[in-house]
């Protein structure tokens, strides 16, 4: 957080928007929990396969264990957005699904659902 003797506030990503955080705030002012330091990569690029995984991969733990990530309720995804997404690929999928759900784009997953249903 220090470079050349000066303080640089962390950056928060909320809904794909960069917000400079108040370094003295007691909680996450953006309400997103996804904080990165200025010298860390800004985002990880989404791959087309990630959309396919939303309709095939299930939640591995918690209240919604066994449910497809694409079928997780919005309030559960919003909770992750507030407290922070888990690390790794699961967190990336949950964050992607949160963005899709939050922007009302869940219907875009229907062709993928149909294609996977026809595969058996």
**Are 29 and 56 part of one and the same domain?**
no
**Are 12 and 26 part of one and the same domain?**
yes
**Are 34 and 62 part of one and the same domain?**
no
**Are 48 and 28 part of one and the same domain?**
no
- How high is the pLDDT of residue 44? 58
**Are 35 and 75 part of one and the same domain?**
no
Residue 63 to residue 17: CA distance in whole angstroms: 30
The predicted-structure confidence for 18-77, as pLDDT tens digits, reads as follows 444 444 444 444 444 444 434 444 455 678 899 999 999 999 999 999 999 999 999 999
Residues 6+ apart with CB under 8 A from 69: 53, 54, 55, 57, 58, 59, 93, 94, 97
**Are 50 and 38 part of one and the same domain?**
no
Number of domains in the chain: 2
**Are 25 and 79 part of one and the same domain?**
no
Question: CB-hemisphere CA count at 13 Å for 34?
Answer: 25
DSSP element (H, E) containing 88: helix 88-102
- How high is the pLDDT of residue 75? 96
Domain housing 6: 1-43
> pTM (2 decimals)?
0.63
The predicted-structure confidence for 66-84, as pLDDT tens digits, reads as follows 999 999 999 999 999 999 9
């Amino acid at each position: 957080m220090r470079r050349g003797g000066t303080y640089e506030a962390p950056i928060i990503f909320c809904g794909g928007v960069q917000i400079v955080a108040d370094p003295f705030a007691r909680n996450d002012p953006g309400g997103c929990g996804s904080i990165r330091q200025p010298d860390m990569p800004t985002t990880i690029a989404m791959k087309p396969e990630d959309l396919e995984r939303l309709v095939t991969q299930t939640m591995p733990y918690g209240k919604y264990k066994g449910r497809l990530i694409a079928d997780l309720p919005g309030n559960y995804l919003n909770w992750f957005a507030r407290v922070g997404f888990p690390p790794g690929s699961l967190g990336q999928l949950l964050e992607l699904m949160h963005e899709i759900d939050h922007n009302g784009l869940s219907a875009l997953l229907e062709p993928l659902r149909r294609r996977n249903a026809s595969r058996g």
